[in-house]
Amino acid sequence: MIVVLGMFASTASADDAPAGDTSTPIAVDFGNDIVPLLSRYGCNSGGCHGKASGQNGFKLSLFGFDQTFDHEAIAKEDRGRRLFPGVPAESLLLKKAIGAMPHGGGVRFTADSDAYRLIRSWIASGAPASSPDAPRIVKLEVTPAEQSFTVGSTQPLAIAAIYHDGSRRDVTEQTEYSSNLDPVANVGDDGIVKATGQSGEAAIMARYMNHVAVFRAVVPHGPRLDSIRDFQPNNYIDELAAAKWKSLGLLPSPTCDDSAFVRRVTVDLCGRLPTAEESRAFLSDNSQNKRKELIDRLLESPDYPAFFAMRWGAILRNSRLAGAEQASFAFHNWIKDLIARNRPYDELVRGVVAAAGEWQDAPAINWYWQMRDDQLHQVTADTAQVFLGVRLQCARCHHHPYERWSQEDYYGLAGFFTRLGRKSFGQPPPYFSSSTPTTGEKNPLTGAAPEPKYPDGEYAKFTPEEDPRHALVDWMVKPDNPFFSRVLVNRMWGHFLGRGLVDEVDDMRATNPAANEELLTRLAKDFVDHKFDVKHIIRTIANSRVYQLSSEPIEANKNDRQSFARFYARRLIAEVFHDAVDQACGTHTKFGGISDSARAVDLPNEGFGSYFLDTFDRPQRVTGCECERSSGATLAQVLLLANSDDIENKLADNSGLISELTKTNKVAAEKIIDLYLTAYSRPPNISELSRTVGYVDAQEDKRKALEDVLWTVLNSKEFMFNH
């Protein structure tokens, strides 16, 4: 069957149909003409006939990724009852779509539409399958690729499909559209983009067949700037951020004061508040380089590896759920040791991905043990998401709906892990690389064991003596790998700035573009150039003016949510907040089964009981996704802080801060200053000092009055947030 390019221009009209309601056949190809309509009108979506069980006995492949299956289902299944080539208009496929018969999906198009005429013509020609000679789409192109908008303005998009034979086809009307940020710009079914009111940048996804293209809609915050006064870059981060702000008409907030900085950087690097003594010393230091020196000091402290070992432990599922307590401790300590010695990041990744042996010698095999129930698929998905920033899970069953990843890519990555075997003793048992596949898993495309294939690359062959996983890591760490370094620097950026340049930090795809692509690319190159030195990237970020901006918005950036023109304040994560409450109260929580001096951030797994940590959404370590942590507030959290025995006991503890302050000869003002420095890393302002001292002096029970002040501090947004 010959494909007619620009199909709707040549479609026969309804008036051309001869008597008897037959249609004048035109050249129609099932794959290039009919399947796109099934996607365009939602017939093969996950909520309709494309879901796993189909709908009312009629099942299509999700988003049309299996055209052979779809043709069989439409034209041949149930003895072809859905089509009536003799009188096409009587076909169930058409009558249900136009509402002439009951249809759970409602009316999808009308009898006078181009879609109706095209499908009718295909049915009239005998409903043939796709021709083997039909052009094959290789790329989707959107025009324009980017556009600057004013609020309320519109821009129609033109979508062209590029085929393997060099031909082009206008598929604007058959393309599906969606926006990743509707408050900035939305898009209609007709491909017309409209700026809806909020400033910022939105990515408009255009999907046709199994290809996507992205249009960037930019709604500037103000007129383009030639320069930014009072902003002196410290490094390339600031230069590239400033270039972005100028194009968006954004002005940054001023630099944060010293008290905000010492608290911010200590929380972000060490997972704790600075002590009152540390805050006093930093605030009284007048040297020019004190911020840089503080960053270096914190990076060399034991709190830095302890905190980041906890963060990586959650991502790498280091859990006691599998019942391997000793292995969990060993894995935690292994991660912490690598971080403390600042070993290159690729060493950590190789140690995890290519782990083999017994847990005493190779603690990272606990990563495999945690996923043993569905090992091949969980390991494949976690490797892609954690180390490559690619959420490949859905490609296990069908082509990724928002990316280029196919089942072939998924099972190709899985092929690197099929030789992984384990002995039948120990918890976790020893793992080893076999000379042959051990899983029995089949690639549904081939019916054979998955063969190793580099993501977006070629198949690989290995001898029985080789461990394919080492080759996978070798591929990851190549300087030109487009995934490995980008996801790590994006993860670090998200940790320090509260939001990734790509958000979420482990969901990097063409349809989820970076807020500042030039900056992300430069950070990734810097990481590669410095041999995967994580401390170098951390220093670069923490020393930037961007990281040191105030969290207070100004009029010019109050609507900024993605360009980092101010520091985005966020709630302290569960473990850090727990320890901050202890530190502010001068108390210490003891956890059974670990050193009495251990803080919440020192815990190697989630198995240490704590109502506080669970209430504030400590992750259960059942996924490799950062999204397992929630920053949302709940009623239980409010009640715990405001009205729980736990908090009351900490405030009244005889060895706590209030008890110690009560025993001193300090006047009320000095006690309030100590309390504020401990909790906020700053002294109170004149109004706060006057108000709190007045309250304490008016109370007969001075200790109880100080407890009330500290209780108020613990429940304040300033205390709960890193700002």
Q: Is the alpha carbon torsion for 690, 695, 696, 698 positive or negative?
A: positive
**Separation CA 481–CA 455 (nearest Å):** 10
Query: Cα separations (Å) of 235 from 26, 89, 440?
Result: 62, 67, 52
pLDDT score of 262 more than 70:
yes
Q: Which pLDDT score is estimated for 322?
A: 63
pLDDT tens digits for range 336-365: 999 999 999 999 999 999 999 998 899 999
pLDDT score of 213 more than 70:
yes
DSSP secondary structure string for all residues of 218-270: EE-SSSPPS--TT---SSHHHHHHHHHHHHHT--PPPBPPHHHHHHHHHHHHH
Residue pair 723/573 in contact (Cβ under 8 Å)? The answer is no
**Separation CA 120–CA 98 (nearest Å):** 12
Arithmetic mean of pLDDT, 244-271: 97
Q: Which of 60-74, 174-188, 685-699 has the lowest mean pLDDT?
A: 60-74
Burial class (CB in 10 A: 0-12, 13-18, 19+), 361: exposed
Residue pair 442/376 in contact (Cβ under 8 Å)? The answer is no
Q: Which amino acid is at 696?
A: V
Q: Which pLDDT score is estimated for 18?
A: 37
Provide the 3-class DSSP secondary structure of residue 502: coil
Q: Which pLDDT score is estimated for 296?
A: 98
pLDDT score of 404 more than 90:
no
pLDDT score of 16 more than 80:
no
Q: Which pLDDT score is estimated for 625?
A: 86
At 401, the pLDDT band (50, 70, 90 cuts) reads low
**Separation CA 526–CA 402 (nearest Å):** 29
At 320, the pLDDT band (50, 70, 90 cuts) reads confident
Interacting residues of 450 by C-beta distance below 8 A, sequence separation 6+: 411, 412, 414, 415, 418, 437, 441, 442, 443
In the chain, where the domains are located: 7-124, 137-219, 344-476, 574-722
In angstroms, what is the C-alpha Rg of the chain? Answer: 30
pLDDT tens digits for range 553-612: 999 999 999 999 999 999 999 999 999 999 999 999 999 889 999 999 999 999 899 999
- The number of CA neighbours under 13 Å toward the Cβ of 97 is 26
C-alpha dihedral over 629, 631, 635, 637, to 10 degrees? 70
C-alpha dihedral over 620, 626, 627, 630, to 10 degrees? 70
Q: Which amino acid is at 587?
A: T
Provide the 3-class DSSP secondary structure of residue 214: strand
What pTM, to 2 d.p., does this model score? 0.87
Q: Which pLDDT score is estimated for 8?
A: 34
pLDDT score of 159 more than 80:
yes
At 32, the pLDDT band (50, 70, 90 cuts) reads confident
Q: Is the alpha carbon torsion for 385, 391, 394, 396 positive or negative?
A: negative
**Domain 137-219 CATH (choose: 3.40.50.720, 2.60.40.1080, 3.90.1150.10, 3.40.50.2300):** 2.60.40.1080
